[in-house]
Amino acid sequence: MNVTTNVIAESPASNGSETSIVRHAIDHAAHSLPAQGPITVFVHHNTLHAFENLHFEDAVEASYYKYGSQPYWPESRYR
C-alpha cells in the first residue's frame, strides 16, 4: 500500500466526494511541509549554464564579453 492509498484509507472523507478526499490528502501532506512563507524571489535557471565547463570567474568574464553585462559591482559599490 503506498502513501496515497494510506492517506485515502485513513481519510474520514473516504466515502465522500473526490474533492474532500483530495482536500484531506493535501491537509495530510501539509504536515510535512515547512512553515515558511512564500518565496518572493526564485531564480529557476543558471544564467551561466552555457559556461559550466569553465571555472566560475572565467565563466563570469566570458558571459561579460558574450552578453555585454556587468559581471561584478564596481569597487565603489562595496564601500
pLDDT, mean of residues 2-14:
50
Q: Are 12 and 24 in contact (CB under 8 A)?
A: yes
* 43 inside domain: no
* 40 inside domain: no
pLDDT at 75: 86
Work out the number of other CB atoms within 10 angstroms of the CB of residue 71. Answer: 13
1 and 31 fall within a common domain: yes
6 and 30 fall within a common domain: yes
pLDDT averaged over the chain? 76
Domain of residue 9 covers: 1-35
Q: Are 13 and 23 in contact (CB under 8 A)?
A: yes
Q: Are 21 and 11 in contact (CB under 8 A)?
A: yes
* 60 inside domain: yes
Tell me which of 4 and 67 has the higher pLDDT. 67
What distance, in Å, lies between the first and last C-alpha atoms of the chain? 60
How many residues are present in the chain? 79
* 41 inside domain: no
In the chain, the number of structural domains is 2
Whole-prediction pTM value?
Answer: 0.38
